[in-house]
Structure 1
Amino acid sequence: MKTKILVLHPNPDNLDAIIKKANLQNSKNGPFEAVLLLGKYDLKACPTVPEVPTYYTGSIEQKEQFTDIMKNLICVTGGFLTLKLASGVKIGFFDRICEDATGDVDILVSFHWPLAIAKTQGLSVIGDREVDKMVTKLQPRYHFAVGTEKGRFYEHPAFPWTPTKACRMISLGQEGSGNKWFYAFSIDPLESLPFVDGVNPFKIESQNVSVVEEQMESGEKLQPLKRASENDEQPVKRPKIVAPQECFFCLSNPNIESHMIVAIGKHSYLATAKGPMPLPQRPLDFSGHAIIIPFDHTPIIEDREQREEMAQFQKTVAAAFYEKSFATVFFQISRPENVHIHTQLIPVRLDGAQEQFERSINERTRQNNERAKFNQLLEFTSDTKQVKAILESKNFIKFVLSMGDKIKVYAAQLVSEKPVDLQFPRRVMSFHLKCPKRTYWDRCKQTKAHEINECEKFKAFYKKYDFTS
């Protein structure tokens, strides 16, 4: 028997209004047998009662696996649970891996995307290989996920499990985000579907994993990308073209170190730095060195929304550090020869920050201009009109010193095709922090466990200011 299902990705702050909308849809386009709310929430009862049984995954473990929060609003907790509707449709709710999960489901609901599909969109960070395992085991006909709290709308092309069974994976944006946040469909658990001639991404992912495992077993080393030359006495060579799937900063890189990601926005993300320069400065118990990275694999920033969101990351991170009596130095190199533009940030003591920073940038500029044989000469200015003209050229080195309400910008014009010392900003900061031995990132490497710990501490520190959550 064919039945109708309504799927929504709600903003939990608007729960009552969303239930009213669901009730309206039920009267106009229903009746629906069930309403599924995507995401993970700690919802409370609201004035409007759902007309249709409405299920959501709880963010807090309940005593019962299915808990009635109010009439027709049911919280699901417990790792992996299945629900069979009167029509015979089986719905699986996946929150964490369950080795005992068996059998097929018609509809699967998870928070994360499967990694195999996330990779096709360059969004590895919102994928989870544990979801892949459940998807391939349960072979749903519909799979709904969001990936992040705000989500995004995406409908993957249908692909086959068998000649008579296909799968559709749909991600929804959150209500109010500007993305599509609702999806209604009909389903018959007994109906056979015509053959779908699509590519099964899980078979491709399985093949890719096998290739990597073969390389590891044979002892073949997976070669990392080489970083730009750090020797300021040699000409800088033209960088090789680096594809997104090979780029350190691209989410489509299957080897991206997602354990270092602090927060993900709509156009950019914040991550802790590999090889952080500063040691923890009390009262901070972590280095504070981080990177703001746009999603787009581009040498300069052209997109306005991307630029605005990166500025929002800067503003909120600076506010968090200022609360702890730290100024924040942001630095960026923008030039056509870049691989993937990004902004780095380092906290410094607020007391005397401007005087010490200007002394540092002046001294390192002097050394660059006097000692380096091949690097182009640098001249920094903080004059507002001159800075504006330099930034409009998209070819510059820029420092921003944020001290609460006071912000100073220093910029130097770069000349295309001429070598530039890519380590110059780190040289300035190592001079400022009096740690010359930590100029190069690879001399400050941490273990993965240390990196994970550093990221978790940054997340806790930034939580109050995190506009992406």
Structure 2
Amino acid sequence: MEKQKMLICGDVNGNFNALFSRVESIIKKSGKFEMLLCVGNFFGDDNSQLDAYKMGTKKVPISTLVFGPTKPEHVPLYGEEGSPIVPDVLYMGVRGVFSTISGLKIGYLSGLSREELGKDIDPMCTFEPSDCSKLRNACIRGVHEYRGLDILVTSIFPRGIQQDELQKVDVPGDKLSTLIAWLAMNIRPRYHFVPFDKYFERQPYRNFSVHEDYRECATRFIALAPVGNKNKEKWIYACSLQPISKMRIVDLLQGTTDETLCPYDPEMLKQYEPGKCIKPNHNGQYFFNMDAPEDDHGKRKRNRDDGAEKKRKEIDPDSCWFCLASPTVEKHLVICVGRHCYLALAKGPLDPYHALILPISHHQSLNKVPDVIVEEIKKFKEALLKFYFSMNKLAVFFERNYKTSHMQIQCVPVPIACSKEILEVFQDEAGINSIQLEVLPPYTDITQVALPGAPYFHAELPSGDQVYARPKPHFPIHFGRDVLSSQPILNCEDKSDWRQCQLSREEEEKYVKNFREDFRPFNFTVADDDSDD
């Protein structure tokens, strides 16, 4: 998707002619922009220049969004939230989040901090902790795997942003807020704009994460001077960006040479509302949905509008199809057993050597298993790569952590001749199903891109590429098999659904026997067994 161009300006203070004439010249020189965001006070002491725009003798050259005031005397000039001030100039209100036509997501919180100033100021010019919580919730609600916000607009600085050793800036106390710092940490904007008396652009900082080894996006903090200021400080900023929801992870996580650490206190991530802490759940994730309804026991219910999987029920290992100690496991499919994992023939296999790598004990997905299991899975993969190569074939490994209870990695041998086409076929099939499929950077670990407990599809291809997708509603359960069974690869499309090509018990036993005998020269578990004797 093409990047969208945006314009952002500081306090207008009634200098409408200077603002719109400058915008018009920028458009003539650089082409069309999606919209203009006025991040500071739109009105000033003299607003007579606006009359020409009201009467239509002058026209606003771009769709312009205006946010709430910081001065009580300006409140009556704004009108009702969501209403036009003049044609093509819309008053957005004091707090909210919205998406542009192109998909950019913009959050805003106007005014000064009522709690931190301790002053009796017009509520239309101030905010309190609950406003921060509500904005945070509005950003993350309905988003299963939240990446961050495209743009955040506030009237004042987050406390801590001004203390960078290389880029110090003097900011009055009433223009600093710990609440804004808490908000910025939680919603992780790619751009954070505020109005100021001069231009200030901080080095980008990398956001904190509550998930170990999970890298978050970086934030660019920019303060803009007043429109037409006498010191000729920069007051308008142009940026070009792609919606964060549609970016490739490799681009989103890309660092810069001037990147710094996050300037805020990481302890604030433990606060579900500014100043109030709760303990994280077993996944290390914090409950953020303050506006959700409560059940009879007073426990918060999570909003499921995103169509993500409902919270999985606890699985009894005795009833799990894949726990090796379970009486329901089909042990005749087992090929060999290691210390922590085992190899089994797939049900309804795409190929006689289509196998599954599974943990012996109950674990739900690869990004939630102990390191010892991860290491043994790698040994199984290495052994299968050598085994398949001995048959002039290569391997595709994929895991569907979606509507599953027990981790299983599918291992499918594919002809060497089609190895270069596999990525393209994956991408084509993803396009047909409206799946956002991403190619991960080399050597990326699944724990770096998928939050613990979050659904995902992940595949390792013979080319060395890894593809990753976050399942949405109606994600095709057989996506991996659909791709590999297609004509360009295995040419067995009738086997895309394992239930339609199940083998008899006798056939399965024969396949397992042949697999076990052929795999023996590569089977490291045999050596493990011998060493224990």
TM-score, structure 1 as length reference: 0.42
TM-score, structure 2 as length reference: 0.37
